[in-house]
Amino acid sequence: MNSSRSKAGQSGAGHPNSAVTGLILAGGQGRRMGGVDKGLQMFRGQRLVDHVYARLAPQVGGIIINANQNYDAYKSFGVRVVSDAIGNFAGPLAGLHAGLSVSRRPFIASVPCDSPFLPEDLVERLMARLVASDADVAVAKTGNWLQPVFCLARRSVLEHLANFLKGGGRKVDAWYASLGIVEVNFDDCAEAFGNINTREELATFEGETIAPAVQFEYAAPVAAAHASAAVDNISPASGSPTMHITSGDALARAVSRDALAQVVSCMDDYDPNALKVEKAREAIRAFLSPVANNEKVAVRAALGRVLGEDIISTLDVPAHDNSAMDGYALRHADLKATGETELRLAGSAFAGRHFAGKMGKRECVRIMTGAVMPRGADTVVIQEIVQVEGDKIRIPAGQKKGQNRRLAGEDLSAGKPVLKAGQPVGPAELGLIASLGLAEVAVRRRLRVAFFSTGDELASVGSALKKGEVYDSNRYTLYGMLSRLGCDIIDMGVVRDDPASLENALKSAAADADVIITSGGVSVGEADFIRELLSKLGEVVFWKIAMKPGRPMAFGRIAHAGNEAHFFGLPGNPVAVMVTFYQFVRDALLALSGRTDNFALPLLRVPCTSSIKKSPGRTEFQRGLLTRDAGGQWSVCPTGAQGSGVLRSMAEANCFIVLEHERASVAPGETVQVQLFDGLT
């Protein structure tokens, strides 16, 4: 795999082969995995198809995905997703046929969606042999085994394939036999064709503590996929959204930022060895510069993303005055000031079918909710209070002019901004965007966040614990917290406490990611060599924050291979990781991802039912349980053991009890501040 990687570097992300469409075959039923959609299974922090996409994208001019279910999930790349034209899950040839039918490039390279390690020079090597032997299809081979779905075919085989399928053929080998192919030897990287067919295989690969060399190889292409997000420019009728990615914001950031040392030196009351929580937040905030580049996505795919541009209404919504209730539309001036008024029924108006006639004097129109108000009508009287006798409608007194009428443009009015760049897109925003008839929307690109755990004592899940080892849980809490924030995550596994491994890991992450998060290794005693390393790679400050838990933390930025990344070195203790993440990293990531709304976590004030010991001089984040008593009164009490290693205290809690810096012990019944976990995205 290493040799294939270095070769791929030459033909990599910068020079996609524009003659080749990459086809990811994700149209199977995943039978051996229990009938799940294989491409969407999570593996090392990402879906299998994300890994495959990342490896294939730099090798080709554009990508098509063949899928027969979950189209929206596969469309998340902004590429064309095609389903089989024949049969019912008829196998890889049906997928190849579907891809060939829409691809416009002269060659197509197919790979299965469950091969996360596929060679990075696959296309290059297949192409060399295909051209040299003037064959129609080149197929990879390892040992005596053909890897039949790793193939490169000329577009011209489409007709042959269509006839083969029409004749009932379904087997790849049989088709190859009828065609004549060239086999291409990949014995030097046979393991790169390893695919994941069962849950057990998924778990086995997942559980491995990845040695640095492999780890980086796996981590690196994730960003490449996005940077090179080449989109196949297929048929003009294609409705699939394209990604518009511009580069260079890292550079812009580098130019526009002050040095960290300068930022902190301008702060009053800055003491790195006893830094107040608020001061640490201030320093971080001052040092961030958000991503600026946008990509276009289909409206649904914008959920949870950050708007990249203001959205200006092109329409009045609603387009016409309409009724808010079922009832009778009338002219208010026709109603008597006192007593009942009798009006003649002139017709009906339904939602989507307006009243086309004329509503004369002392007439009314039966109207349904959402129906356009008849010309001349200004008021709607609900049906429950009128008396109907044939076409005579009796309206009681006391109706207000304009009641139950929705005005045109009441929701949105043409030319006015509806949503602002920097706003998060939630369900309401999705609906608003759709109500303007927009099919696509510009959103900020996702933040790329790389993370790894450090420590010689860490074992990975799935392996037996040796004496002195603990399972690496931080990578899982970080995975959860980062996923909920909508980041593109690069899980780099465990890195041992040795300078060479750490340096490699940090460089690899800095080259790819916007943000790097590590856990462990920043406490006194360990900090020295990592401090030296980080100062070599960039600018990082080490803090002892006046807080509990989570005292040591490192923050800054490091650079490698022309890219810069913000760096957060979190403590190793599992609760400290979560607390520092929520108190510092969360806000930083939201700001970096382009959010401009007020995303600070709300603090609620409730009575605390028990006493809490505390001395002034640090902010404490106790884990608490907020509950409501029978009388409807809310109160909080701390949950069990509060040690910074006791992750159970987080799982048992539903909020942080935030005890301010100056505060001393809390007596039962005193008011405290709490921060709810719910909504902690």
State the residues that interact with Mg ion by CB under 5 A: 455, 520-521, 572
Q: What is the C-alpha separation between 297 and 237, in angstroms, rounded? A: 17
Residue 370 region by backbone torsions, left for phi larger than 0, else alpha for psi between -120 and 50, else beta: left
Q: Which residues pair with 184 in a beta bridge?
A: 140
Residue 28 interacts with which of ligand AMP, Mg ion, none, CB < 5 to 8 Å by class: none
Count Cα atoms within 13 angstroms, Cβ side, for 179. 27
Closer CB to ligand AMP, 521 or 556, in the complex = 521
Answer yes or no whether residue 259 interacts with ligand AMP by CB under 6 A.
no
Closer CB to Mg ion, 222 or 495, in the complex = 495
- Closest distance to Mg ion from the beta carbon of 457 (Å): 7
Query: Count of residues binding ligand AMP (CB under 6 A)?
Result: 18
- Closest distance to ligand AMP from the beta carbon of 322 (Å): 58
Q: Indicate the residue whose CB is closest to ligand AMP.
A: 572
Q: What is the C-alpha separation between 419 and 311, in angstroms, rounded? A: 5
Q: CB within 8 A of 45, min separation 6: which ones? A: 479, 489, 490, 491
Q: What is the C-alpha separation between 270 and 39, in angstroms, rounded? A: 49
- Closest distance to Mg ion from the beta carbon of 468 (Å): 12
Answer yes or no whether residue 675 interacts with ligand AMP by CB under 6 A.
no
Answer yes or no whether residue 520 interacts with ligand AMP by CB under 6 A.
yes
| Signed CA dihedral, 647, 648, 654, 659: sign only | negative
Distances (CA, A) of 273 to 522, 542, 553: 13, 8, 11
Buried b (16+ CB within 10 A) or exposed e, 629-650: eeeeeebbbbbeebebebbebb
Stretch that binds ligand AMP, among 103-111, 285-293, 459-467, 515-523 (CB under 6 A): 515-523
Residue 32: what residue type?
R
Closer CB to ligand AMP, 308 or 552, in the complex = 552
| Contact yes or no for 515/586 (Cβ under 8 A) | no
**Where are the alpha helices (H) located in 57-192, listed in sequence order?**
71-74, 92-102, 122-133, 158-166, 172-179
Query: Which residues from 185-214 bind ligand AMP, rule CB under 6 A?
Result: none
Among 354, 362, 355, which residue's Cα sits nearest to residue 331? 362
- Closest distance to ligand AMP from the beta carbon of 570 (Å): 8
Closer CB to ligand AMP, 68 or 474, in the complex = 474
- Closest distance to Mg ion from the beta carbon of 519 (Å): 9
Closer CB to Mg ion, 4 or 573, in the complex = 573
Question: What tokens appear for 637 in the block?
Answer: 């009490």
Select from 326, 378, 526, 539 the one that contacts ligand AMP (CB under 6 A).
526
Closer CB to ligand AMP, 350 or 471, in the complex = 471
- Closest distance to Mg ion from the beta carbon of 526 (Å): 6
Closer CB to ligand AMP, 524 or 600, in the complex = 524
DSSP state of 305: S
Answer yes or no whether residue 453 interacts with ligand AMP by CB under 6 A.
yes
Among 69, 101, 124, which residue's Cα sits nearest to residue 234? 101
Query: Which residues from 553-582 bind ligand AMP, rule CB under 6 A?
Result: 571-574
Answer yes or no whether residue 538 interacts with ligand AMP by CB under 6 A.
no
Query: Which residues from 457-486 bind ligand AMP, rule CB under 6 A?
Result: 457-458, 470, 472-475
Residue 519 interacts with which of Mg ion, ligand AMP, none, CB < 5 to 8 Å by class: ligand AMP
Stretch that binds ligand AMP, among 286-294, 454-462, 539-547, 560-568 (CB under 6 A): 454-462
Helix-strand-coil percent breakdown of the chain, rounded to 5?
30, 25, 40
Closer CB to ligand AMP, 409 or 571, in the complex = 571
Closer CB to ligand AMP, 167 or 468, in the complex = 468
Buried b (16+ CB within 10 A) or exposed e, 518-546: bbbbbeeebbeebbebbeebbbbbbbbbb
Select from 58, 521, 538, 556 the one that contacts ligand AMP (CB under 6 A).
521
Count Cα atoms within 13 angstroms, Cβ side, for 548. 13
Residues in touch with ligand AMP (CB under 6 A):
453, 455, 457-458, 470, 472-475, 519-521, 523, 526, 571-574
